[in-house]
Structure 1
Amino acid sequence: MSQYASRIAGSLSSPHKLRLPGLSGLAGRARTPRRVAMLSVHTSPLHQPGTGDAGGMNVYIVELARKLAAIGVEVEIFTRATTGTLPPAVELAPGVLVRHVDAGPYEGLAKEELPAQLCAFTHGVMRAWAGHRPGYYDLVHSHYWLSGHVGWLAAERWGVPLVHAMHTMAKVKNAALAAGDTPEPAARVIGETQIVRAADRLIANTAEEADELVRFYEAERRKVAVVHPGVNLDRFRPADGRAAARARLGLPADAFIPLFAGRIQPLKAPDILLHAAARLLDADPALRRRMLVPVVGGPSGSGLAKPEKLQKLAARLGIADVVRFHPPVDQDRLADWFRA
């Protein structure tokens, strides 16, 4: 993960790639940003991954911010306040501050309704910036298209580069829509196209994603940097092994355990695991006494719904007796599930 953060920082500071403010008099030498304004409108890095709209992007932002801070780059993360009791700012880690922005009602607002609140969110970001000296932020790093629109305006107003990570793309999702999933709206497609044109740097997780940015959105190849996501190897490692992890989780030592971990939504296709489990049991009925299929995570969106469709599918496939639904867990507990 440290190498990942270093590569991000290097990608941002290389003078032939991305020009940071305040370089006059430095004879063209590269300068690492001192402070980054990171934007995550629709989901807070403080939320539990696996619930509502909190998922891999939350982990990505938290780990990236921590590692950037560890190499001397301060990070302030702006996110929408979801309750009235939240303090204006929370220190996530040394050098990492989470700023809560009031934008729309605290509760009951779906992600699809957030575009109407971008003006209010941008206003909150600008108010926070107004209390600082000129040049306080060296760079804006936005995550997901909603944040990209706020970042576009902020970067232009502050005279700093805009770095954007799409995380998911509407055109790509619509081209491979899962059964039962809703197509992404035209407004998002238009918004993403605008961000691709406005951004100074686009961060892609893989070479394939970089190609998709060029193919679907006509991104300039020179503006796309491929930075593979890191893994926290201090946490996600074999540790004391499978048997010990199963004991901590209360799982049978001799069980056969195919695992799903993540938010429950059609795009992540947990149904494929259930169908696979059913086929395995059809092929080897004796496996039933040892099979256990944990589904660890909560439903996407408001978090108010239950994974009823998946439960009904398990019943229809005749495997309800081996499928177990578990609520989202913290990262240390998740590592145990992977070990098990």
Structure 2
Amino acid sequence: MKKHFINHIGIENFKCFQNLTIDGLESVNLIGGKNNVGKTAFLEAVELLVSSNETYDLVVNIYKLLTRRQTNNLSNDILLDFIREDETKVKIYTKNKKLRLAVHRYEIKDIIPTTKLSYAINEDEKSLSIDRLLGQSLQKIDRRIDNINFISSAKAQEQDIAILYGSLVDLDREDFLNDSLRIFDDNIISIKQRATKNNVILKLKLKDRQMPVLLSSLGEGINRYIAVLCAIWASKDGFLLIDEIENGIHYTNYQKLWQIIFQASADANCQLFITSHSKECIEAFNEVQLEQENNRGAYFEFYKNIKTDMITASKRHKEQLKYSLTHQGRVRGE
């Protein structure tokens, strides 16, 4: 495990989590489980943790989290949905870093009541009014860290892929992507960028076409495949979070995808956190783990504990996962 990687995380009162702790995180971490057990929320908690190095980063990242998940970005319509119902304090932590968030309501005689958010990293604590947090003042502030990326479950915008591809070009890894694309589809020769007056367009050179074709003209699978592979190298020495990795990708390509992900994550020194709803995708992940002993992967199944009604996570080692997948265990991907 690389020094900057996370091998333990604790989450308290963030979204659906009351008290979740996970140990034994690896280079490539796959999160499975039924719907509504917090898989996406877990990615968001990890993102807040790894992308907030200074205290002010935390409040900016909270704002971006709220506006990304809520379709209407008008300040009056943004809700503080990152705190578990009926709670006022959130904590996300590892061994060396602790994020704390708390909502405080102040009522002073003859003064309009105000609500403040206190936010802290380790012992450095600050606060601001909720009105300011939900206003427009944070909208244009860019505190993004270059080697931390989040790929949502939706189809990636071509402009976002072009930015990720630019990072790959800077690292002189175009051959990696072209070789990987040919594994995915042997009709593909290479990917190309074409600059226009206002934008950058991605095209693919194909064996059966004389002229390169627009990436946008091809299917969602190739779009997601390119986005994932570019994002790994764009996250070199950092972190990549991918929600529902299987979206748009045909199940026959899952094993190829995992083989490339394991190799690229090791070469780029990138720690990945990935969710999946697909049993076939989880099976392919485990098959690659079993075939290649040097792969540093871990599978965690999220589920709601019947006795405590709390969401918890169980780490399944390779042989345990294989047994569960073949004997109708609790692993759920459908």
What TM-score results when the alignment is normalised by the length of structure 1? 0.27
What TM-score results when the alignment is normalised by the length of structure 2? 0.28
Kindly indicate whether structure 1 or structure 2 has the higher relative contact order, using CA contacts under 8 Å at least 6 residues apart: 2
Structure with a larger share of its residues in helix: 1
Structure with a larger share of its residues in strand: 2
